[in-house]
Amino acid sequence: MYPGAIAAVSPDKPAVIMAGSGRIITHRELDEESNRLAHLFRAAGLRPGDHIAFMLPNHPLFLAVAWAAHRSGLYYTPINSRLRTDEVAYIIGNCGARAFISSADLAGVATSITATTPRVELRLMMDGTADGFDSYEEAVAKQPSSPIDDECTGADMLYSSGTTGRPKGVKVTATHGPLTEPGMLFKLIQALFAPSADSVYLSPAPLYHAAPLRYCLTFQRFGATVVVMERFDPERYLQAVERYQVTHSQLVPTMFIKMLKLPEEIRTKYDISSLQHAIHAAAPCPVPVKEQMIDWWGPIIHEYYAGTEGNGFLYVNAQDWLRHKGTVGRSLLGVVHILDEDGDDLPPGEHGTVYFENGGTFEYHGDPDKTRAARDPQGRGWTTLGDIGYLDDEGFLYLTDRRSYMIISGGVNIYPQEAENVLSVHPNVADVAVFGVPDEEMGEQVKAVVEPMSMDEAGPELEAELIAYCRERLAHYKCPKSVDFRAELPRHPTGKLYKRLLRDEYWPART
């Protein structure tokens, strides 16, 4: 199914409800809005295989923009609205976007990259205008609401930060097939979570992330209503479940933690009995947290492990998880292998890099070196997300580390090299290491350990200066929340930093 088919059956049914403002976009409005924007893309010369980018908050028309690109056969990149000027300009330039859409509340960043993104031919701004941008509303209103003549399927191309400090675009080949053709995610969601036109899906996370975007679009294919929270708040989440009789929702573990910390009278105040499937991913959930959630919500908690790359998919329901506590699931897409450094298979119980055989194919856009690095050493075409883990005797996977020391804070992936690159050029920094340390609420928080040019300068003032320096150049969530100082960092004479020696000091209970 796709917006036109749903609109023909249930034109006035809500396709999108904004949980905060209450604004509703019906299935007819979603279909017509995405058709008009698709016509505008064609009028601007965009053809299947071309690329657009958009940077929006959780906006009522966010999914309409995605559908317009999708039904035009385009690659589309939603950009994290928390990124800074240089980061946004890099992504737009790297993906080759010919059109860029933003909103007035992000005009400061959007307009600052005009000079550095000359390939962009069409610039549109919602809810107002700014220098270099046309009014989105005026431009789209001039277009017909009927489908374009050459509708075909596009694909998202999402960016995640790389260990070298530059974001990498995950490019899954677009089929340019008919819009009615269901993809693998559609089939998995259908088999596992039984969505229907009567379903109500609550999305509490930013839509520019892979899972929220893809699940919202997939549930709309079933004719479901998608309720979008402008931002997550634990009590307002429970309110939304009760108010809209939510049947399905996807969360990350930090959201569980915040809800569990609500006073008992708040937690029990709302009727959440309509909730049939509470799906979580993005990071392994701490065992005590998941035990409490199952005790509270019952056996409706579902977990999966996958990546933006789409090269594998593991799943575990509540019953199996209780028998295999800590697992992230068993494979439903791709054969899982645990490999040593030479690329040889390891037996159950032994830790190694997690690879997928016969999963989805992908490449890192414009970066053949990173693409090759994600393939197995023996050239069999198996692919990895860079995670370390082990399998048990029944094939359940347990994640134990990140090969690249990636930090997961609140379900968001953070690569420390970006902050290291920024801090290393500060005049008072001789050496620096950035890594994740335990955080009760967020899972991990970003920590920097700095070797200053002089230990006489070490102290609270330099700590505050370094944090501010980093925040001026990177999105705040990528920057350290605290800085410790050492007279010397542990480096091998070859220059290799023994980051594990530092990290282990902050993880005394790590197993």
428: Cβ contacts below 8 Å, ≥ 6 apart: 452, 453, 454, 457, 462, 465, 466
Domain assignment present for residue 75? The answer is yes
Domain boundary among 125, 142, 174: 174
Number of domains in the chain: 2
Domain boundary among 174, 198, 233: 174
What CATH code is carried by the domain that includes residue 453? 3.30.300.30
Confidence at residue 28, expressed as pLDDT on a 0 to 100 scale: 98
Confidence at residue 261, expressed as pLDDT on a 0 to 100 scale: 84
Query: Hunting for tokens 């933003």 — which residue is that?
Result: 102
Confidence at residue 127, expressed as pLDDT on a 0 to 100 scale: 97
Confidence at residue 386, expressed as pLDDT on a 0 to 100 scale: 86
Domain assignment present for residue 119? The answer is yes
Domain assignment present for residue 40? The answer is yes
Confidence at residue 165, expressed as pLDDT on a 0 to 100 scale: 54
What stretches of 297-426 adopt beta strand conformation (E)? Answer: 301-305, 313-316, 330-333, 335-339, 352-357, 363-364, 383-391, 397-402, 407-409, 412-414
Residue pair 259/234 in contact (Cβ under 8 Å)? The answer is: yes
Domain assignment present for residue 364? The answer is no
335: Cβ contacts below 8 Å, ≥ 6 apart: 356, 357, 358
Domain assignment present for residue 300? The answer is no
- 427 phi, psi to nearest 5 deg: -60, -20
The mean pLDDT values, 10 residues at a time, for the chain of 511 residues are: 90 97 97 98 96 97 98 95 90 96 96 95 97 97 97 91 64 78 85 96 93 95 97 96 98 86 93 97 80 96 92 95 96 94 93 90 86 91 90 93 74 80 85 89 93 93 96 94 93 58 77 40
- From residue 57, give the alpha-carbon distance in Å to each of 17, 106, 266, 434: 15, 8, 28, 29
Q: Which domain holds residue 39?
A: 25-174
Domain boundary among 152, 174, 196: 174
Domain assignment present for residue 322? The answer is no
What CATH code is carried by the domain that includes residue 135? 3.40.50.12780
- 443 vs 75: CA distance, rounded Å: 33
The tokens for 59 are 């906006």
Confidence at residue 214, expressed as pLDDT on a 0 to 100 scale: 94
Query: Hunting for tokens 């993104």 — which residue is that?
Result: 117
Confidence at residue 150, expressed as pLDDT on a 0 to 100 scale: 94
Domain assignment present for residue 416? The answer is yes
Cα 366 to chain center, whole Å? 20
Confidence at residue 164, expressed as pLDDT on a 0 to 100 scale: 40
Residue pair 357/312 in contact (Cβ under 8 Å)? The answer is: no
- 472 vs 345: CA distance, rounded Å: 45
